Amino acid sequence: MSTSQPRPEHPRPQFFRPDWINLNGWWSYRFDFGQSGIAQGWQHSTGFEQQILIPFAPESELSGVAYRDFIPAIFYHRIIVIPPEWSGSRILLHFGAVDQIATIYIDGQEISRHYGGSSSFTVDLTESVRPGVEHHLVVQAVDDVRSGLYGGGKQCPDYHSRSCHYTRTTGIWQSVWLEKVALTGLKSCRIIPDLDNGAFIFAPVFHAAEPGNLLQIGVWAGNELAASGKMHPSPGATISLPLEVLETWSPDTPFLYDIRFQLTDASGAEIDYVESYAGMRKISIAGDRIFLNNQPLYQRLVLDQGFYPDGLWTAPSDAALKKDIELSMEAGFNGARLHQKVFEERFHYWADRLGYLTWGEFPSWGLKLANPEAQLNFLVEWSEVVARDANHPSIITWSPLNESYMPDSRYLRGVFPNQEALESYRRFIRRIYNLTKQLDCTRPVNDSSGYLHVLTDLWTVHCYRSNAEKLLQSLFPEDSPVMMHNPEFECGYTGQPYLADEIGGFMFIPPGRSKFTEKSWGYYGLELKNEDEFCTAIAEQVQVLLQEPRIAGFCYTQLTDIEQEQNGIYNYDRTPKAAPHKIRQAINPEGLP
């Protein structure tokens, strides 16, 4: 049994306090196949028989369990001790993500419950723990990927992985940590870059208001103070700080300002201190073009599903998160569609640092969109995702849904038996779009990647074709300015930027390597024989898109192989399938940043 702590880095570098305790490591656990654990009193456990390595899911090899069948529920246990010096403070317990419904117990008493397997959440333990005393922390996770009430993304609803579905993730799958916070400390702060006016806008939220408290904000450009300001905590209050040193964030110059929040009481004593950072960048649309910092932006994206052979949804290390971005950039991409998964904050941190553009997406596959409970669950969890990640400059688009309805007429007739059902779907998509805009009006919203569009800032299509000629013909049909999978159900095109946000998907298994399974596949059944054929097939499609002025960008499928889907630029273990310079020449022949 390894004694080194997995994922020891701070999980939230954009909101850092020095007083925190990483709870990753060996916990005890018990599967609850009959979902009778509560009736048997497992919430009162002082330790289970088996061990699991957190933050890795029990299906993963890194967890030490590697159980691949369905797990309807699982209980976790570990002892926590709050340091005596934390007395008098607010004690927060943070979870990066727990799939799907998490119930938290301290010494057998239910403290909190969270619904949704992808969003982060925090539990206030202040009234439930005493510093210096051992407490038994029990977490129950209930997970039914087949229910359709929560998005499962690419987790397979069948026992064996198949098609575009892979090994499941159950329970805790991101870091868990404790944090000491002042009772009236800073809870969060939205940081909005206002490039055209050369300022950052700050909208802080506090755990509690205390008359006389003062929040001081410092914005630093390296060692130079670029802006500063003060404000008294007040619900809904904001402050705009003009910058004396204006540096923009972009892929070629990913400059980040350091932000320091200091909260003092009426006597001037410090009661809270938080370190953060922000990028000054603007993403906007004018006509059918996308602009970054008021300059035209062409997006060369790759589909990144964030799966790892040993960790599944959880990266084995912080270095692995960074490495995936570096591999993508080395291949010539300037960003990624983060596909059917909410990526952890450390990934966004590295994207911010490296200048990597991303689209934030929700794992919407498996969600029964016509079910009112599923709709509510989605809206709540998506709100949590957007609120958590809105400060990251690398995220330039919100893409809540993916292929919300398949482009098969028989399937659509089953979903939309009448006009009322179709309108119900449209109303839900409008609610998602409007909610996202209310939470964050600074980014475009792609309502449903690929189809079925209802209200969208971008027109995106998924267009897998075997060669460049067929790709171009499909993207620009004779009877429409853009490709539409289902014109009778889709809203009309009104001149939005047009992106082919899924293309390619060519299967190439390098000599000396074998298929993952007999069901391994790539789009159109192409099995390319060598790296030159592979790179040529990619280059031909990319070149057609680059030469077409009506296209604002593309997304190639995909960064790495994942189990039986072997159509990546890299193998599943991240080794290259072709010489990196050949891939880069195919993706970015003009050598642009």
For residue 100, whether the previous peptide bond is cis, meaning omega lies within 30 degrees of 0, is: yes
- Distance between CA atoms of residues 445 and 360, nearest Å: 10
Angle between helices 531-546 and 580-587 (to 10 degrees): 20
Q: Do 440 and 357 lie in a common domain?
A: yes
Domain-embedded: residue 283? no
pLDDT digits (tens, 9 = 90+) for 92-105: 999 999 999 999 99
Domain-embedded: residue 551? yes
Q: Do 364 and 465 lie in a common domain?
A: yes
By percentage, how much of the chain surpasses pLDDT 90? Answer: 90
Q: Give the per-residue pLDDT at 561.
A: 98
pLDDT digits (tens, 9 = 90+) for 302-321: 999 999 999 999 999 999 99
Domain-embedded: residue 5? no
Average pLDDT for 547-560: 97
Q: Do 325 and 474 lie in a common domain?
A: yes
Domain-embedded: residue 7? no
CA distances (Å), 281 to each of 167, 175, 197, 248, in order?
Answer: 37, 29, 12, 6
- Maximum average pLDDT range among 179-183, 420-424, 449-453, 508-512: 179-183
Q: Give the per-residue pLDDT at 485.
A: 85
Domain-embedded: residue 291? no
- Distance between CA atoms of residues 306 and 363, nearest Å: 12
Average pLDDT for 545-567: 97
Q: Give the per-residue pLDDT at 411.
A: 43
Domain-embedded: residue 1? no
- Distance between CA atoms of residues 254 and 355, nearest Å: 5
- Give the mean pLDDT of the chain: 95
For 187-211, give the DSSP string.
EEEEEEEEGGGTEEEEEEEESS--T
* CATH number of the structural domain spanning residue 265: 2.60.40.10
pLDDT surpasses 90 at 404: no
Q: Give the per-residue pLDDT at 592.
A: 74
CA distances (Å), 219 to each of 260, 277, 283, 307, in order?
Answer: 7, 8, 21, 36
Q: Give the per-residue pLDDT at 408.
A: 43
Domain count, the chain: 3
pLDDT digits (tens, 9 = 90+) for 221-239: 999 999 999 999 999 999 9
Tally of helices (H runs) and strands (E runs) in the chain: 8, 31
Q: Give the per-residue pLDDT at 277.
A: 98
pLDDT surpasses 50 at 412: no
Beta bridge partners, 74, equal: 31, 141
Q: Residues near 127 by Cβ (< 8 Å), separated by ≥ 6?
A: none
For 412-481, give the DSSP string.
HHHH-SSHHHHHHHHHHHHHHHHHHHHH-TTS-B-SEESS--SS-SSEEEE---SSHHHHHHHHS-TT-S
What is the radius of gyration, based on Cα positions, of the chain?
Answer: 24
Q: Give the per-residue pLDDT at 218.
A: 98
Q: Residues near 65 by Cβ (< 8 Å), separated by ≥ 6?
A: 29, 50, 52, 58, 59
Q: Do 422 and 332 lie in a common domain?
A: yes
Q: Do 174 and 199 lie in a common domain?
A: no
pLDDT surpasses 60 at 22: yes
How many other C-beta atoms lie within 10 A of the C-beta of residue 72? 16
- Distance between CA atoms of residues 314 and 311, nearest Å: 5
Q: Which domain holds residue 274?
A: 186-278
Q: Do 229 and 271 lie in a common domain?
A: yes
Say if residues 175 and 7 touch (Cβ distance below 8 Å): yes
End of a domain among 246, 278, 310?
A: 278
pLDDT surpasses 60 at 567: yes
- Distance between CA atoms of residues 562 and 506, nearest Å: 13
Q: Do 235 and 174 lie in a common domain?
A: no
pLDDT digits (tens, 9 = 90+) for 372-398: 999 999 999 999 999 999 999 999 999
Q: Give the per-residue pLDDT at 551.
A: 98
Average pLDDT for 43-50: 98
Q: Residues near 184 by Cβ (< 8 Å), separated by ≥ 6?
A: 206, 207, 208, 209, 210, 213, 233, 263, 271, 272
Phi, psi of 532 (to 5 degrees): -70, -40
pTM of the model: 0.97
* CATH number of the structural domain spanning residue 99: 2.60.120.260
Q: Do 367 and 303 lie in a common domain?
A: yes
Q: Give the per-residue pLDDT at 549.
A: 96
- Distance between CA atoms of residues 84 and 133, nearest Å: 9
Q: Give the per-residue pLDDT at 23.
A: 98
Nearest to 439 by CA among 383, 394, 393: 383
pLDDT surpasses 70 at 495: yes
Question: For residue 2, what pLDDT band results from cuts at 50, 70 and 90?
Answer: low
- Distance between CA atoms of residues 23 and 8, nearest Å: 9
pLDDT surpasses 90 at 1: no
Domain-embedded: residue 6? no
Q: Do 429 and 313 lie in a common domain?
A: yes
Q: Do 362 and 497 lie in a common domain?
A: yes
Question: For residue 406, what pLDDT band results from cuts at 50, 70 and 90?
Answer: very low
- Distance between CA atoms of residues 517 and 535, nearest Å: 24
Q: Give the per-residue pLDDT at 415.
A: 60
* CATH number of the structural domain spanning residue 304: 3.20.20.80
Q: Do 306 and 274 lie in a common domain?
A: no
> Tokens representing 21?
């305790």
Average pLDDT for 475-503: 94
**Torsion 17-21-22-23 (CA) sign:** negative
Domain-embedded: residue 593? no
Q: Give the per-residue pLDDT at 578.
A: 95
Residue 491 CA to its chain's centroid (Å): 27
End of a domain among 131, 159, 179?
A: 179
- Distance between CA atoms of residues 159 and 429, nearest Å: 31
End of a domain among 211, 245, 278?
A: 278
Residue 473 CA to its chain's centroid (Å): 33
pLDDT digits (tens, 9 = 90+) for 265-309: 999 999 999 999 999 999 999 999 999 999 999 999 999 999 999
pLDDT surpasses 70 at 414: no
Q: Do 354 and 224 lie in a common domain?
A: no
